[in-house]
A = this chain, B = another copy of it.
């Protein structure tokens, strides 16, 4: 499409509306075999399908105005199952201030929930993957690794205390999109680049690196407390869970260091937080330096658990 505002391959697409505004569009499809782990209810699956999409809007700093849903439904579903999915979809939409205004249903071999979000944004100021500058502070809106650890519990073979287990499973079944943080961060004018972390932290960093032509040096691994304990108890590498997990919906942003205080204050005012974890560097390498040791963060992404 000529005159495109958001580069192809960013978290959302945008279509010019007038001189100052664009319509923002996103679609992401939830498929039961890969996106609905054992133990997740259909209500939760419906809600998750919304969260997955809202998170991409959050990363760009755009509020969703309306959602459409295409449902592919297997024969085996009962009408009460469909009601559960619909309630979950609606709950997710209302949670993020939007409405489901239409959609379509059809038959499919597996449950498929394709959500489409629509929003309107000023043409300028959207937080893209392409805006990172060398020297920018790398920051995240929360700690990582809980969904990856939770999925290990679901697959079996790992141990956890009751409290930790509950927290990790909750992160899988009830993910949260950082919409308020994203809107506030954009409003602060301090953010140069942004992406959502649904494909895993390592993958995000490589995406920002490729799109902006910079490298990253991560000096603080943002490990969730429960994940540190869980990794130790099960003799797992916590950094694996943090870097190469996925299905988590934090924002990974870069901030002009002179405006760091503004960005941090904006996230806090939105009820969230912004944690510095490193900086953008020259070159294209994505490195981790903890305890004086440097190692490469690989360009591995989150691999969907296969259930088919």
* Residue in B closest to A308 when the chains form the complex, CB atoms: B109
Residue contact A108 to B110, C-beta cutoff 8 Å: yes
Find out whether the CB atom of B12 lies under 8 angstroms from the CB atom of A108.
no
Q: A29-B104, A33-B108, A109-B109 are in contact. List 17 more A-B contacts (CB 8 A).
A: A1-B66, A1-B101, A4-B101, A8-B101, A13-B68, A13-B101, A15-B65, A23-B120, A25-B68, A25-B102, A26-B68, A29-B71, A31-B72, A33-B109, A68-B116, A108-B110, A109-B110
Whether the Cβ atoms of A106 and B70 lie closer than 8 Å is no
Q: With contacts A15-B66, A15-B118 known, is A27 near B102, CB below 8 A?
A: yes
Nearest CB of chain B from residue A100's CB, rounded to whole Å: 8
- Which of A31, A34, A70, A99 has its CB near the most chain B CB atoms (within 10 A)? A70
Q: Decide if A251 is an interface residue (CB 8 Å cutoff).
A: no
A304 proximity list for chain B (CB < 8 A): 106-107
- Number of chain A residues whose Cβ lies closer than 8 Å to a Cβ of chain B: 44
Q: What residues of chain B lie closer than 8 Å to A25, measured between beta carbons?
A: 66, 68, 101-102, 116, 118
Copies of this protein chain in the complex: 2
Residues in chain B near residue A26, CB distance under 8 A: 68, 102
Chain B residue with Cβ nearest A2: B99
Which residues of B have CB within 8 Å of A72?
Answer: 29, 31, 72, 112
Q: Type the 1/0 row for A63-107, where 1 means its CB is closer than 8 Å to any CB of B.
A: 001101111100100000000000000000000000101111011
List A residues at the B interface (Cβ < 8 Å). Answer: 1, 4, 8, 12-15, 17, 23, 25-29, 31, 33-35, 65-66, 68-72, 75, 99, 101-104, 106-110, 112, 114, 116, 118, 120, 304, 306, 308
Pair B112/A12 contact, Cβ less than 8 Å: no
Instruction: Let me know if B308 and A107 touch, CB within 8 A.
Output: yes
Compute how far the CA of A209 lies from the CA of B167 in the bound complex, rounded to whole angstroms: 53
C-alpha spacing A107/B13, complex, angstroms: 22
Partner of A12, one of B27, B70, B102, B118: B102
B residues in contact with A35, CB < 8 Å:
106
CA distance A304 to B104 in the complex (A): 15
Residues of B within 8 A of A68 (CB): 13, 25-27, 116
